[in-house]
Structure 1
């Protein structure tokens, strides 16, 4: 569990009570456009040693959720059971930078109620995905905000290898990470869920970049 220490100049500092590990969360606001409207998103960024992210990894548990509930299971090269072990994939990296984008759903209230949550989430997810691709360093590796969408239909369906392996990126859930716990304990951020006839206050999307 991380404990909030102080807020200074939009940098939020947390401390692990036992190990006294300082985590600096940088926060700012960015403005994008959706259907000719300005949309504000909160952007949060933190960086930790790669070794600390393993506390949130439980591949067996979270891959089972994919297997039982996700239509992408075994339908994409980037989804379980085709996703590599994170330990092997990240072997040559020492740090991980995590990115959280948060968008208020009130900004989408001009849409029909049944579309509001999904449109807000998809917009936020795509903005984060684009941001990660632009900021992926030459010697780093992006961990996507969602499952791969490079191809309309993944080549795995036809029993063929990936058409664009240089563009293929995995995501945190596919690796088996507990994303909700990452948000709660590292960002001190509560994940809100959509339900029938209930629009959450905000939507969230998280991704990462592995660094040397």
Structure 2
């Protein structure tokens, strides 16, 4: 049904911020997202990228491509069908990526992860009920919540184009995360 491939690049955090972070450009996209104000890893209330990344010198940017086989792509022709396939493939692959990076954090003093997409540690985020995060020590902010141009970052640093499909599935989906070191 699917295969994954991870591509990585290392760059200085200063360059990551200077060349790819444009929160004002992406603010409206965040406001239009259904997770806006409903997930602790998403705006509003997320620190600025400059503030959150200030302690770090090096960013290891990871692009995980989730490739769908040709038969699956042929069989899925609706947005609903694509979402069902993603729940069974892209979602679990993103969770494995996050768990791997969280485990890696434990081996590197002061390291920190920026997650690929919104936090999915809980079935329902406590923020929706006006409560504090139940997994604050493991929750990581979404890369997009900081206002990064993820399409440019993936293309220029990883050689990966982000693909979109109105109905059905693209050849692959991409999850971008970063592992930061001091």
The answer to whether the superposition gives a TM-score over 0.5 is yes
Partner of residue 125 from structure 1, selected from 69, 94, 99: 94
Moved more, 120-129 or 177-186: 120-129
Moved more, 179-188 or 155-164: 155-164
2-side partners of 1:120 and 1:52: how far apart? Answer: 32
Greater C-alpha Rg: 1
* SS of alignment partner, residue 148 of structure 2: coil
* SS of alignment partner, residue 100 of structure 1: strand
Alignment of 1:131-142 (within 5 A): 131-136=100-105, 137-142=108-113
Partner of residue 57 from structure 1, selected from 10, 18, 21: 21
Alignment of 1:91-170 (within 5 A): 91-106=54-69, 109=72, 112-113=75-76, 114-115=81-82, 118=86, 119-136=88-105, 137-170=108-141
Asked whether the 8 Å contact 1:102–1:124 carries over to 2, the reply is no
1-side partners of 2:171 and 2:28: how far apart? Answer: 29
Return the structure number with greater relative CO, CA threshold 8 A, min gap 6.
2
Alignment of 1:68-83 (within 5 A): 68=32, 70-83=33-46
Query: Where has structure 1 moved over 4 Å in runs of 4 or more?
Result: none
CA gap 1:110/1:75 in 2 versus in 1, 3 angstroms = closer
1-side partners of 2:27 and 2:53: how far apart? Answer: 18
Q: TM-score, normalised by structure 1?
A: 0.73
Asked whether the 8 Å contact 1:59–1:177 carries over to 2, the reply is yes
Report the alpha carbon displacement of residue 112 of structure 1 after superposing the two structures with TM: 4.8
Tell me the equivalent position of 1:13: none
* SS of alignment partner, residue 46 of structure 2: coil
Asked whether the 8 Å contact 1:124–1:204 carries over to 2, the reply is no
The structure where helix makes up a greater share of residues is: 2
Tell me the equivalent position of 1:203: 173
Q: Confirm or deny that 1:179 pairs with 2:150.
A: yes
2-side partners of 1:122 and 1:111: how far apart? Answer: 20
The structure where strand makes up a greater share of residues is: 1
Listed as ranges, the gaps of 5+ residues in structure 2 are none
Report the alpha carbon displacement of residue 90 of structure 1 after superposing the two structures with TM: 1.3
Count of residue pairs the alignment pairs up: 173
Partner of residue 10 from structure 2, selected from 47, 50, 64: 47
Q: TM-score, normalised by structure 2?
A: 0.84
Partner of residue 51 from structure 2, selected from 78, 82, 88: 88
Moved more, 134-143 or 119-128: 119-128
Moved more, 93-102 or 125-134: 125-134
